[in-house]
Structure 1
Amino acid sequence: MELRQIQYFICLFEEGTVTGAARRVNVVQPALSAQIVKLEEELGQKLFVRSARGMEPTEAGRRMYQLYLPILRDLAHAREQMTLRSGEVGGQVVVGMISSLAESVLSEALTDFAQAYPKVHVTVTNGALLDWVAAGKIDAAIVDKPRRPFSLSVEPIIDEELVLVGPDDDRVPDVLPLAAVAALPLLFTPREHNLREILEDYARQENLVFKPVSEIYSMTALLNLVEDAGFYAILPRTVVRRHARRASLRVRTIESPAMVRQIICVTHPRRPLNTASALFVEVLRRHIRGLPDGTAWPQDAGRNG
């Protein structure tokens, strides 16, 4: 098995067509196809099947992608590091980040990092972040701590308050218990959203049932509907802060119990961060902890969860 064959395989898997993969690696299509055939013969397994949509990976192809993508990324990083002069930091960084935090801190964090480390190329993405860290597709992810068990390494960053946002009127007090919040006409994110998991977990602990009027995935769209239709929503304070100047909205404190989301950094336990990734995560951590209204974790908090 040659490195070239692995590179061709990765490109074909990601592009889905021989045409797209060949263009990406700058070779003619027959040459790429021939190397894929050789790879399949060596492994004794079909890696792709042709369909109307292009080249569909088989189960063996999907398994090979999961195994070899991290290796290929490590090789690329090693090559980049060898070309740098002593003391320089370069290479690729791929980090995932939940959108509510990205909208708050990412612009300033990227600016600071680019000024300090101009030879590092940074990609920040969103999606199935825990799965992508586990599969080696991204270096690390900044996420809400899930309620379900998982096997990745965890570094706590901050506890962020969840607040009630709604119409600016005096019928609802500025501080109210969660039981009173549950009786209001609420907008929620869908059940697959991490924030919804957090809210439902609090409700179970208090023997409450939330009955949302509607469910919207985007927190920004949800907040817009709160303002336009007079509903209420429980949101992280960083999300609400971006819209704090809207005179028609009022932010209220929830107590009994107070509600927080735990922001964590997750990495693979067997794949330590390279220098560039560790430096970028540290910049993100510093900017997140610099947000007002967040309560930092104790310094001796556990690292695994």
Structure 2
Amino acid sequence: MEIRQLVYFVAVAEKGTITEAAKSLHISQPPVSVQLKLLEEELGCVLFDRNTRHMELTEAGQKFYQRASAILEQFDSARREMRDIESGVAGTLRIGVVSSLCGGMFLDWMKEFRKDHPRIHFEIQEGNTYQMIEKTRMHQVEMAFVRTPFSASDLKRVPILKEDLYVVGKEEFFQKQADEPEQSIALKELTGIPMILYRRWEPLITEAFRKQELTPEIFCQCEDARTVISMAEKAMGIGIVPQSIFRDNRELCGYPIREREFRSEIFAVYGKQTYVSSATRGFLDYVEKQVKQLLIH
């Protein structure tokens, strides 16, 4: 088995046809066809269903695609590692970020880091925590910034920051707080108000209500904290989001939840056995220093 066979296989799997794969690789079609046939013979199984207009992966092909992608990423990582050793500088940071971080403090970290490292470039992939963890496992990103709760014993976890969850909404939903200004809000004060929840936090929130023998009025669940903010801005209900995604919003009122279990922790995660470039490690060190300074002040 050769690296080029894996490259050809992955290209066909992603492009859907040998013609398009060959174009993307800047080679002619025959070498791609020949190497795919040799690969299938060596593996002893059929990787593609060739009876359709596009070449669809068989069940074996889907499994092998995951393995081949990981092998190619490790091969690329090894090349980057050698370049790092030779030059001391890596040019591109491939980082995953949960969407609730992308519009706030993460952009500040990027901006300030690049001032000191103008030759650094970023490749950012966004999604929820589970998606970012999976991309880290598949070596599609070197490191990801994610939020609790999550389980990933196979990854190295670096704690970054704990922050309060805030109840946010239009002023009309917080009349009591407007009349009697307080620094926080209790769960019992949220009963009877339509709530917009980030789906991953729904079990935590409903359990907290249940412990107090309360029932939340959940109007909508969604997959993105930014959607929660957008719906709250339309006065569709109140949302529960991390403090950092709310901090610069001038359209909504916001109050930390009084019950202390409502906190979100940000972690950086990366593979325990995966090479992490010097630039990525440098960025992580920079983020940790920035957060420490923030906590001191």
State whether TM-score is above 0.5. Answer: yes
Structure 1 residue 231 corresponds to structure 2 residue 237: yes
Q: Which amino acid aligns with 2:102?
A: A
SS in 1 for 2:46: coil
Identify the residue that residue 274 of structure 1 maps to in structure 2.
277
State the Cα deviation string for residues 108-156 of structure 1 (Å, max 9, x = none): 3333444444555431112311222223332221111225575432111
Question: Which of 213, 221, 230 lines up with 2:227 in the alignment?
Answer: 221
User: Which sits farther off after the overlay, 18-27 or 273-282?
Assistant: 273-282
Structure 1 residue 186 corresponds to structure 2 residue 195: yes
Deviation at 1:201, TM superposition (A): 5.2
Q: How many residues align?
A: 288
Check 1:203–1:41 CA distance in 2 against 1; reply closer, same or farther (3 A cut). Answer: farther
Distance 1:129 1:275 in 2: 21
State the Cα deviation string for residues 281-303 of structure 1 (Å, max 9, x = none): 3344455x2796x799xxxxxxx
Structure 1 residue 70 corresponds to structure 2 residue 70: yes
Tell me if structure 2 keeps the 8 A contact 1:12–1:18: yes
Structure 1 residue 253 corresponds to structure 2 residue 262: no
Q: Which runs of 5 or more residues in structure 1 are unaligned? A: 297-305
Tell me if structure 1 keeps the 8 A contact 2:196–2:237: yes
Identify the residue that residue 176 of structure 2 maps to in structure 1.
172
Check 1:46–1:143 CA distance in 2 against 1; reply closer, same or farther (3 A cut). Answer: same
- CA RMSD after TM alignment: 3.1
Check 1:122–1:185 CA distance in 2 against 1; reply closer, same or farther (3 A cut). Answer: same
Distance 1:206 1:136 in 2: 43
Q: Which amino acid aligns with 2:99?
A: S
Tell me if structure 2 keeps the 8 A contact 1:90–1:120: yes
Tell me if structure 1 keeps the 8 A contact 2:167–2:238: yes
Identify the residue that residue 20 of structure 1 maps to in structure 2.
20
Check 1:106–1:253 CA distance in 2 against 1; reply closer, same or farther (3 A cut). Answer: closer
State the Cα deviation string for residues 236-275 of structure 1 (Å, max 9, x = none): 11111131x22xx321232134521111112222324232
Check 1:188–1:57 CA distance in 2 against 1; reply closer, same or farther (3 A cut). Answer: same
Identify the residue that residue 211 of structure 1 maps to in structure 2.
217
Distance 2:207 2:15 in 1: 40
SS in 2 for 1:154: strand
Structure 1 residue 136 corresponds to structure 2 residue 145: no
Tell me if structure 2 keeps the 8 A contact 1:187–1:232: yes
SS in 1 for 2:218: coil
Distance 1:224 1:61 in 2: 41
Identify the residue that residue 205 of structure 2 maps to in structure 1.
199
Distance 2:51 2:149 in 1: 37
Check 1:89–1:159 CA distance in 2 against 1; reply closer, same or farther (3 A cut). Answer: same
Distance 1:295 1:209 in 2: 39
SS in 1 for 2:140: coil
What TM-score, normalized by structure 2, do the two folds share?
0.82
Deviation at 1:104, TM superposition (A): 0.7
Distance 1:118 1:30 in 2: 43
Tell me if structure 2 keeps the 8 A contact 1:77–1:92: no
What TM-score, normalized by structure 1, do the two folds share?
0.80
Check 1:177–1:47 CA distance in 2 against 1; reply closer, same or farther (3 A cut). Answer: same
Distance 1:30 1:209 in 2: 65
Distance 2:55 2:115 in 1: 41
Deviation at 1:166, TM superposition (A): 2.0
Distance 2:151 2:86 in 1: 43
Distance 1:13 1:206 in 2: 52
Distance 1:188 1:73 in 2: 36
Deviation at 1:102, TM superposition (A): 1.1
Deviation at 1:55, TM superposition (A): 2.0
Q: Which runs of 5 or more residues in structure 2 are unaligned? A: none
Q: Which amino acid aligns with 1:172?
A: K
Distance 1:75 1:96 in 2: 20
Distance 1:87 1:58 in 2: 42
Tell me if structure 1 keeps the 8 A contact 2:96–2:144: yes
Tell me if structure 2 keeps the 8 A contact 1:178–1:257: no
Q: How does 1:47-66 map to 2 (within 5 A)?
A: 47-50=47-50, 52=52, 54-66=54-66
Distance 1:152 1:83 in 2: 25
Q: Which amino acid aligns with 2:278?
A: T
Write 1 or 2 for the structure with the bigger share of helix. Answer: 2
Deviation at 1:217, TM superposition (A): 3.4
